[in-house]
Amino acid sequence: MKCDSHTDQRPSHEYELLPSDGTHPARAMRTLRVGSRRKRFLLVTAFLLALSSIAFIALDIYAIRIPWYTRPSVRSVLTDLWPVGSTNTTDDWENENSKSMNAFFKCALEGNCGENQTSIVMLSSEHFENGLRGRSSGEDIWAMSLILALKEMGYTTIIAPGNYEMARTYRQYPDLVKVIIVEGSKADACFDDPTCIKGPDHPLGVPAWKMFAMHFWTGSAHPLGSIWTVSPEDFRLIAPHNSIDNFYLGYSIERTCMGIPVTPNHQRPMQAYIFAKTLSYFYRKDYSWPNVSWDPPFDVKLYVGMKNDTDFPSEIPKSITNLGVLSKNEFYDELGKSRAFIGIGEPVLSPSPYDALCMGVPFINPVYRWDKEDPENRHKWGAQHEGLRYEDPPYVYHVRKGDEKGLWAAVRQALDNPIERYIPATMTMEALKNRVGLLVEGDWRSKAEELLDERIRTGGRVFEI
């Protein structure tokens, strides 16, 4: 019997499909499978997101324990911005600046800056650069002494030789800069330069009252007057006629001198060292010993270290042994085993007599001017080293120009009365730091405001506060 296909009762192995809206069965099956995969994908994604969140939370908790400013990336930025001790670095002042700024930003980020470290003192003179390079003019020694004092006091120093560099650097940290010590001859130039000085069209320029003129000699060197002129000696006392208002900043040779070994007095030979670097000093009008014989009336050998810079027939007195041009260390070695240091009129105001005293060597200080009616009145004296005018034997012996007997009497006393190391009270590092503190922390703005009001009333060079 032939059966109809619609009534075939054979068992089926196909899944029973639910009634649909006419969708083909195969397509419906694919839809079901795709839906299942999507659910699994969403579950896996959710799991991974949750795992990532846990990982990030754990990382953040760990990172809290490691300050961000100590991470290698931050440290490398500091090093890249201010490289220290680079192999090809030849400008020592730039290397010093890098060390200063590295320390400044590191302590600021870590929150552990030392006293005064967030206060910047700018140094804008070639003598600061020269001092770092070991040069030894009086101005260079003064500059290096100031750098040492500022560092010991914790201030951040930035060296910026020249007005362009000074103005450019100041614009970066105007509110952090306390004062700027500039070369005396450059203070006026900055004051007259609208790209340097603060003005209506240059609000980030250098305020005149923040600048202090570094001037090695007497008189004023600052457009605001003597109050803003800093001096190496107390010219208020020794040159009141033109320096009564100068700021006595001074310097100290204590740190360098005390590190130099000296020969004990009982081991020193009978020798005196003559203070002259060039032969021309013996032929100048300020030479202190014209017509004085250099043959000592007692047993003492005389030494000098100098070059012949004359362009005329000249000679060194036969009783003086010339050691030639000496290095700084060679000079200290000869000075440190001498029993007296004899001035001849020049150079004036040199730090060398202070070195001599610090090394236990008395100084013979020639006096070239005095009041004949009142010869012992030191206020009326003019001497080779004015800063030592008020010191007494056995440290300093003052002898009038041309006085041969007085010269050799002073040398004899120096030989017979040896001294130990001696630093005048005003020349100690502590005394210098006290004066530096007065300069850096002084209320100079108020003084400038008073001066500006006066100049507006009476006339004068006005300036922006």
Query: How far apart are the C-alpha atoms of 252 and 144, rounded to whole Å?
Result: 9
Mean pLDDT, the chain, whole residue set: 87
Q: How does DSSP classify residue 265?
A: G
pLDDT digits (tens, 9 = 90+) for 374-389: 999 999 999 999 999 9
Over the Cα atoms of the chain, what is R_g?
39
Beta bridge partners of 124: 182
The 10 Å Cβ neighbour count of residue 414 is 26
Q: Could you tell me the two tokens for 288? A: 């202190």
We find that the CATH architecture of domain 255-427 is: 3-Layer(aba) Sandwich (3.40)
User: Rounded to whole angstroms, how far apart are CA atoms 344 and 288?
Assistant: 5
The per-residue pLDDT for 60 is 53
pLDDT at 55: 63
Count CB neighbours of 391 within 10 A.
Answer: 18
pLDDT bracket for residue 245 (50, 70, 90): very high
* Residue 5 pLDDT level (bands cut at 50, 70, 90): very low
Write down the pLDDT at residue 87.
52
SS3 for 340? strand
DSSP helix/strand/coil, 287: coil
- Average pLDDT estimate for 87-103: 79
Please give the share of the chain, as a percent, with pLDDT higher than 90: 74
Give the pLDDT score at 77: 63
pLDDT at position 25 over 90? no
Contacts 24+ apart (CB under 8 A), 196-199: 196/163, 196/164, 196/166, 196/167, 197/463, 197/464, 198/463, 198/464, 199/464
The correct CATH number of 115-252+429-465 out of 3.30.70, 2.40.128, 3.40.50, 1.10.8 is 3.40.50
Distance between CA atoms of residues 82 and 106, nearest Å: 11
pLDDT band, residue 110 (cuts 50/70/90): confident
Q: How much is the average pLDDT of 188-207?
A: 96
Angle between helices 184-191 and 163-170 (to 10 degrees): 60
Q: Which of 213, 50, 6 is nearest to 127 (CA)?
A: 213
Mean of pLDDT values over 314-330: 93
369: pLDDT strictly greater than 60? yes
Report domain extents, the chain.
Answer: 69-113, 115-252+429-465, 255-427
Q: What angle do CA 57, 61, 65 make, to 5 degrees?
A: 160
- Other C-beta atoms lying within 10 Å of the C-beta of residue 322: 17
Is-same-fold flag (115-252+429-465; 255-427)? yes
| Per-residue pLDDT, 15 | 38
Spatial separation of the C-alpha atoms in residues 191 and 41, rounded to whole Å: 74
For residue 8, is pLDDT > 50?
Answer: no
**In a 10 Å sphere around its CB, with 0-12 CB exposed, 13-18 middle and 19+ buried, how is residue 65 labelled?**
exposed
Structure confidence by residue, pLDDT tens digits, 265-316: 999 999 999 999 999 999 999 999 999 999 999 999 999 999 999 999 899 9
pLDDT at 178: 98
Distance CA 156, CA 99 (A): 10
User: Confidence band (pLDDT; 50, 70, 90) for 445?
Assistant: very high
Residue 109's pLDDT band (cuts 50, 70, 90): confident
Lowest mean pLDDT, pick from 30-44, 191-205, 254-268: 30-44
Q: pLDDT band at residue 56, thresholds of 50, 70 and 90?
A: low
| Average pLDDT score over residue span 69-92 | 60
Q: What's residue 28's pLDDT? A: 46
* Whether the predicted pLDDT of 3 surpasses 60: no
Check pLDDT > 60 for residue 149: yes
